[in-house]
Amino acid sequence: MNASDGIEHLHKVARLNEIDLIIGTHALFSGRYVLEAGLPYLLIFAGTDLNEFSLDEASLSVMTSAVEGSAGLIVLNEDFQIRCTELWPHVREKLHKIPQAIWTKPSAFSLRENLGLPTDAKLILLPSGLRPIKDPLYSFRAINAWHEQDPRIHLVIAGTSYDEDFEGIVMRRIASSKGIHYAGAILPENLHASMCEATALINTSISECSPNSVLEAMELQCPVIVRDIPGNTCVVQNESTGLVFSTPDELREQGQRLLDDKMLAQELGRNGLEFVSKFHNLNDERAAYLTLIESLGTYPSSCLKGRAPMRERMIELNDVVICAEMFGNPEDPAVLLIAGASDSMLFWDSEFCSRMAGGGRYVIRYDHRDTGRSTAYPPGQPPYTLRNLAADATALLNCLNVTTAHLVGVSMGGMIVQIAALMSPEVVNSLTLFSSSPGDLNPEEPDLPSPTLRVSIALDDIVEPDWADKGSVVDYLVAVQRCLASDTREFDDAGKRSLARDVFDRSDGKIRSMRNHNSIEWGDPWRGRLAEITAPTLIIHGKRDQVNQVPHAEALARGIPQSKMLLLKDAGHELAPADWGQVLTAILQHTS
C-alpha cells in the first residue's frame, strides 16, 4: 500500500468507527500517516526510528514533523527517553515512559519434536526475523564450535523472513553449519511453548526497542542471554535477571555456564519472572495508557459523550455494516455472542463479557441488522431472512480474521447458531444454545409448546410507544423485559431502565426498526437436520422460561448428538446477573 492509499484507508477507518485518537508505533512508518489523518495522535517509538532512521536526513525530517504534531510521545525505556531528548529537546514535556507489558500462553507444541531433534538436545532459541538488524549470523561461528564440542547443542532460529536476499545468505550459512536450524515463523503460543523447552533464549540484535521475546522468556522462567546493547540491557541485568555478552565467544561461555550450573539457571529464571511481574505487567500498562489519554483534556473523553466506546468497530459485510465489540486477547479461543430477536449487543452485559474474557476467551458481541449501530431498514420492510443473519455471524468472524469460534446464542440467537452450524460447520468449534428452540412450531408437534397464556396476554397488553420519545420507548422496553423475566425473582426495574436508555441512545433514531426481526422469514425448517450438528453443544435453559418453555430445550437435546443440558432453577427468558456465575462457569468449561 503506497502512502496516499494508506492515508485514504486511515481516513475511512477513522470515519466509519468514529475514532477520536490514533496511537501509532514507529515515528517514521506511522508518523507519515498520522500526520495527514486530521486526528490527535500518540506516537510510540519503536527503536529503529530512534537508532537508525534518525541518521537519515529525509527520514528525520518526517519524524520531526510527526513528533512535533503529536499529542504525546511514548518511550518504552530510559535509553529511548534520553535519545528522544537528544533529537528533539523541545518536546521533552510530551514524553511519557510506559514499559511494554507482555502476556504468554504456551501451547502443547514441542519444537524438539517438530524438528526431529533428539530428546537430550539442548535448545538455544533465537526468536529473530531474518533481517540484518537482528544479526542472526553473529552467533553462528560460536554455536558451530559449541555443537562440535557438545553435539547436544542446537541453535533454532524462529521468525519471519523480511529480506529475500538476506534469507538466502542465512540459509546458505545454515546449510554449511552444524547444529543450526531455521524453524520459520511459528505461532506465538508455540513460541512460548518453545521457550519453556529451551535451555536458553538468546538475542543477537544490533539494535532493539523493548525486546518482547526476551521479556516473554523471562516470564516463563527461561534463562536469557542477550547482546550488550541498550535495548537489551534496559531489561536484562547481568548475573541477576539474565546474562549479557559482548562477543560470540562470550555468548558460548555464558551458555555453557547455564549447562554447568543448574542453580544459576533457576535463579535467573526466578529473578526474570519477578522483574517482569513487577515492571512489565498488563494492569500497569493499561492504567498508564488510560491515565495518559485522560490527561489529554478535551479529547477523547468529551468526544465520546453520547457516542459509542472506541473499542466498538464498524465492519463492512458486503451490503451491510455491522457494529461489533471485542473483549480480551485475540490469541485466546474466540467466543461469538449472538443476541435474540430485537436485541442489540447490549443484551450481553459488558461486565459479563469482561468476566468471560478474563477466563481466557476472546469475546465478540455485535449488533444484528436493525439493532444498535448496525445497518437499519424501514420499519416493516426487512429485506433479509434468518439465514442472512446466520451468514452475518460467520462473515463477521471472517472479517475479524477469526477462523473458528465457539458460538453462543440466546433465543433467536440460538436459532442463528444452529443454522450457522449447519451452513458453515467448519467455522463452529462448539454451540451454546441459551433459552432457545429448534424453531419448528408445527401444531402437529405438541412437544414444542407456544408461550404461556400469561406471557402472551401481558405482551399484547403493552401499549405501543411513541418511538421518537425516549421516555416512552424506555417504558415500553422495560415492560417487555418484565414479561420475559422470572416470576420467582424480584424484577430489577432500575437496571432494566438503565439498559433501555442505552439501547435508545445507540439506535440513532432507528429504534423502531428493531421490531423487523418479528417479521423476517425463517426459511425451511431445520429441526430434522439437527443430527447433522457434530460440534459439542451446551443447552442452557431457565426452568421459569415462559416463552420457549423447557420442552424446547429437551427437543434440542434429543436432536443434537453431542449435547448436554443445564437447567437454571429460577431463570426466565433472560440472562439475569444472578445466573452469571453458573452460566460463565458452564460456558468456560464447555469451550475449554
The catalytic residue positions are 411, 545, 573
CA distances from residue 20 to 12, 169, 293, 308, 502 in whole angstroms, order as listed: 13, 45, 11, 11, 21
Task: For residues 359 and 480, give the distance between their C-alpha atoms in angstroms, rounded to a whole number.
Answer: 32
Sign of CA dihedral 76, 82, 84, 89: positive
Phi, psi at residue 64, to the nearest 5°? -60, -45
Task: For residues 199 and 208, give the distance between their C-alpha atoms in angstroms, rounded to a whole number.
Answer: 22
* Residues comprising the chain, all counted: 592
Placement of cell 530510559 in the chain? 78
Classify residue 447 as exposed, middle or buried by CB count within 10 Å of its CB (0-12, 13-18, 19+): exposed
CB-based contact 571:432 (threshold 8 Å): no
Q: Identify residue 64 by its one-letter amino acid code.
A: T
The half-sphere exposure of 409 on its side-chain side, counting CA atoms within 13 A, is 27
Strands ordered across the beta sheet of 200-203: 180-184, 153-158, 122-127, 200-203, 224-227, 243-245
Spell out the long-range contacts of 264-268 with Cβ–Cβ below 8 A and sequence spacing 24 or more: 265/199, 265/200, 265/223, 268/223, 268/224, 268/240, 268/241, 268/242, 268/243
Contacts of residue 489, defined as CB under 8 A and 6 or more positions apart, other chains included, come to: 570, 572, 576, 578
Interhelix angle for 580-590 vs 350-358, to 10°?
A: 40
Which letter does DSSP use for residue 387 in this model? H
End-to-end CA distance of the chain: 39
Task: For residues 201 and 158, give the distance between their C-alpha atoms in angstroms, rounded to a whole number.
Answer: 11
C-alpha cell at 586: 458452564
> Which run of H or of E encompasses 429?
strand 428-434
Task: For residues 183 and 543, give the distance between their C-alpha atoms in angstroms, rounded to a whole number.
Answer: 54
Strands ordered across the beta sheet of 537-542: 312-317, 320-327, 362-366, 334-338, 405-410, 428-434, 537-542, 563-568
3 state SS for 207-265: CCCCCHHHHHHHHCCCCEEEECCHHHHCCCCECCCEEEECCHHHHHHHHHHHHHCHHHH
Residues paired with residue 227 on neighbouring β-strands, in sequence order = 245
Contacts of residue 20, defined as CB under 8 A and 6 or more positions apart, other chains included, come to: 39, 40, 299, 300, 303, 304, 310
